[in-house]
Amino acid sequence: MSDIIALDVSKGHSYCVHYSDGNCVKEFDFEHNKLGFAKLSETVKRANNPTFYFEATGIYSRPIERFCRDNKIPYALLNPLELHLKTENLRRVKTDNKDAHKIALSAYDNSYRLMAFQNPKYLDLREWCRFYERVEDSRKFNKVELHNELQQTFPEMEQLFTNKTSILSLNLVSLFPHPDLVSGISRTKLKNILMSKTDKKISSDKALEYAEKLIVFAKNSSPAVRVDNVQVQEVKYYARKLKDLTIEKRKLRKQMIQLGKTLPEFEIIASMPGIGELTAAMLLGEIGDFARFDTSNQLNAYVGIDLIRYQSGQYLRKDHINKRGNPKAREILFLTVRNMIKQQAAAPNHIVDYYYKLKRQPVPKRDKVATVACMNKTLKCLFSMIRNKTKYAYAYTDSRSIETL
């Protein structure tokens, strides 16, 4: 039997125990730096085909994961809740060294699933996705703040553009956050300012049209604050911030799609109606290599849409999804299904057919229940397509074969 190396991972350091044939051979604490990992490497060299076991502790366990991947060491990334349930006893004693021993002994008693070694591109794409989501969250926050401040300094500016967060509109907001800054400027001079101070090239006629509207808005505007108020500076700040975030979002989108296209599953996923290139890249980023799952049920469990069933005596609780999987992948999948329904006129889609079938049953399903059921069908379909290396074909997945997917 291979040796077991169990670690209790903390911020910047871990406590390690080395077990062989059920006995502890060595235990020590090491820091997550070159000296610490060199010490860990010596233990690995003396071990007999070791397998690492440690809890998933967010960013703090990432250095251990990289060490295992770089050295091709099999490892199990343990769910803290699952580990707690399998190691808890009546006497509660919690220290780093005792926790490491508990993990090692639990590895002997339980068959934990080992992590699959994926192509590093999947891991890189996941980080791109997380970065993209954080940028989008920042955009939403700054958009709300800009709206709140602009309503007090120059509310009519929001009527000038259909897309209130386009680069052109944000440039104009930065230039003229208050109507007093427009007054006294002729429409020709204002037109020239718009053409020279904005990043996006606009025609002379279009710039003149914006200038005339801006002059009218400035004459009729009655803002809540004066031009020297600090809120005018806030508008400029949020407009610049939102502009930078918008540009960064566009760059990230291109980079994610470019990286996604280098993976073999990308074109297969993007072939499904309602799934664009960005969604395909994000699904690959959050789910990773579909081939590492043996069945579609394992994939469902990873995303967190497998059902929990509870029955005790005469009591039978209504089934619901466990939500213990990847919440980001679940959110992307939910939005993907909703997008399929919105774009149903673009191309036939058996997922949309299944959605309306559930809504038309003798006992119609609620919208959210039907959507979750479609998420399940979507994952099964993608899993089958990728395994068989075939792009989406509605004729193959018509209503007669829905139940078999």
Question: What domain count does the chain have?
Answer: 3
Regarding whether 275 and 249 lie in a shared domain, the answer is no
Where does a domain end: 60, 80, 115? 115
- The lowest-confidence range among 38-52, 189-203, 277-291 is 189-203
Domain ends where: 258, 278, 312? 258
Is residue 163 located within the same domain as residue 217? yes
Give yes or no: residues 140 and 86 share one domain: no
pLDDT (tens digit, 9 = 90+) per residue, 214-229? 999 999 999 999 999 9
Same domain for 132 and 231, yes or no, is yes
Whether the per-residue pLDDT at 64 is higher than 50: the answer is: yes
Q: What is the DSSP string of 83-142?
A: HHHHH--SS----HHHHHHHHHHHHHHS-PPPPP---HHHHHHHHHHHHHHHHHHHHHHH
Same domain, 241 and 273: no
Q: Are residues 21 and 107 in the same domain?
A: yes
Task: Dump pLDDT digits (tens) for 232-287.
Answer: 999 999 999 999 999 999 999 999 999 999 999 999 999 999 999 999 999 999 99
274 shares its domain with 396: yes
293-344 pLDDT per residue, tens: 889 888 988 888 876 655 566 655 565 666 677 889 999 999 999 999 999 8
CATH number at residue 230: 1.10.287
Which helix H or strand E contains 9, and what residues bound it?
strand 4-10
Residue 15, pLDDT score:
95
The mean predicted confidence, pLDDT, of the chain is 88
Could you tell me if 365 and 274 lie in one domain?
yes
pLDDT in tens, 352-385: 999 999 988 888 888 888 999 999 999 999 999 9
Q: Which residues contact 189 (CB under 8 A, 6 or more apart)?
A: none
Domain that holds residue 225: 123-258
Do 129 and 235 sit in the same domain of this protein? yes
Same domain, 253 and 271: no
Site of tokens 């009655």: 222
Among the three residues 258, 281, 297, which one is the final residue of a domain in this structure?
258
pLDDT digits (tens, 9 = 90+) for 85-120: 777 764 455 666 788 999 999 999 888 888 888 888
Q: What is the pLDDT of residue 111?
A: 86
The rounded distance, in Å, linking the Cα atoms of 198 and 201 is 7
Are residue 361 and residue 298 in the same domain, yes or no? yes
pLDDT given at position 86? 75
